[in-house]
Amino acid sequence: MATPQQPPNDSWLQDSYNSSEDSIDYPIVNTDLLVNVPLDFIRDTFNHTDLPELFTNFEAALQGLEFSYEADAEKFDDESLQVEIGLLYGLLHARFVTTDQGLAKLRRMFLAGKFGVCPREGCKDCPLLPIGASNVPGVSPLGGYCVYCKDVYLPLSHDVSKGELVDGSFYGSSFPQVFLSRYPKLESKLIASLDATTSSDSPTYYKDIDTKLSRENMHLFGFKINWRLVE
């Protein structure tokens, strides 16, 4: 099995990526596939829209999450509360990564190949964008979307310590659409760069599912977009 390679190192792709700056290392969500969500974003009540109904005690989870920014979350004795704190962080993370600040962080991670590369040989190690098959927690693990072949692969990684432990709702089903809408020239430049390279052996541990991105199913901050109003 071949080892996934980094995306092409063209000049336009070069961008600084600091894993210690952009990845999260809190005990509640210990993975480098999520980014740090600022505390002011966590506290902003607008970002809590429709979330309380998903929790047994939303206020306790929110207070615990705020506390975890200053102390070790493992000090919580209530395991169920700790689970809800991690879930709340993940759902707020899904909203944060659609902001300009969050998208900038994900752009660096994407170009660094942080989410792996497409397993199809014809895609020439195209880096994957994170995506969830559902916006509902507990439905699917984190997957990867390839901008070259337009397919989705679940789970994101064969490594249980990474993609399979990250809930797909922590990015949601619309993230690639939002990302590519924010950086409209990135997709064409990346594809052109990949077309100029030779293909290589690819891993086979990804599961290909018949899922295509459609703007009719696009959500932002948990709300389905009404394109008639946008246009």
Q: What is the pLDDT of residues 188-202, one digit of tens each?
A: 888 888 887 654 444
Domains annotated on the chain, with CATH: 23-97 (no CATH), 111-196 (2.20.25.20)
Dist. CA 49–CA 45, nearest whole Å: 7
* CA nearest to 96, candidates 167, 146, 28, 47: 47
Residuewise pLDDT in 10s, the chain (231 residues):
334 444 444 444 444 444 444 444 444 556 788 999 999 999 999 999 999 999 999 999 999 888 888 755 456 667 788 889 989 999 999 999 999 999 999 999 998 888 989 988 888 889 999 999 889 998 888 999 999 999 998 887 645 455 557 889 999 999 999 999 999 888 888 888 888 765 444 443 333 333 444 555 555 555 555 545 545
Q: For the chain, how are helix, strand and coil distributed in percent, rounded to 5?
A: 45, 10, 45
Instruction: Name the amino acid, one letter, at 228.
Output: R
pLDDT for the residue 18:
47
Dist. CA 175–CA 128, nearest whole Å: 12
